[in-house]
Amino acid sequence: MKVSAAPPVDTTQDADRQSSVSYTVHHRTVYHYQFPVSLSLHSAHLQPQDSLNQQCRDFQLKIFPIPEHIDVRQDFFGNSTHYFSVEKKHDCLVVDAHSRVEVQAPVLPDPSTVASCAQVIEYLSYAAPDNAETVDIQQYLFPSESIAYSPSAKLFASPYFRDDANFLVACCRLALDIFEEFEFDPTATSVSTPLEKVLEMKKGVCQDFAHLMIACIRACNLPARYVSGYILTSPPDGQERLIGADATHAWVSVFLPKFGWVDIDPTNAQICGTDYVTVATGRDFHDVSPIKGRSSGGGEQKISIAVTMSPDHPKLPEKIPLFL
Domain parsing of the chain, residue ranges:
23-104+290-311, 111-288
Residue 61, pLDDT above cutoff 60: yes
Instruction: Note the pLDDT tens digit of each residue in 130-167.
Output: 777 788 999 999 999 999 999 999 999 999 999 999 99
Pick the CATH number of 23-104+290-311 from 3.40.30.10, 2.40.50.40, 3.40.1350.10, 2.60.40.2250: 2.60.40.2250
Residue 270, pLDDT above cutoff 90: yes
pTM of the model: 0.91
Cα 302 from Cα 310, distance rounded (Å): 27
Give the whole-number percent of the chain exceeding pLDDT 70.
90
CATH 3.20.20.140 for domain 111-288, yes or no, is no
pLDDT band at 297 (very low <50, low <70, confident <90, very high): confident
* Predicted local confidence at residue 298, as pLDDT: 85
Instruction: Note the pLDDT tens digit of each residue in 68-78.
Output: 999 999 999 99
* Predicted local confidence at residue 114, as pLDDT: 96
pLDDT band at 209 (very low <50, low <70, confident <90, very high): very high
85 burial class (0-12, 13-18, 19+ CB within 10 angstroms)? middle
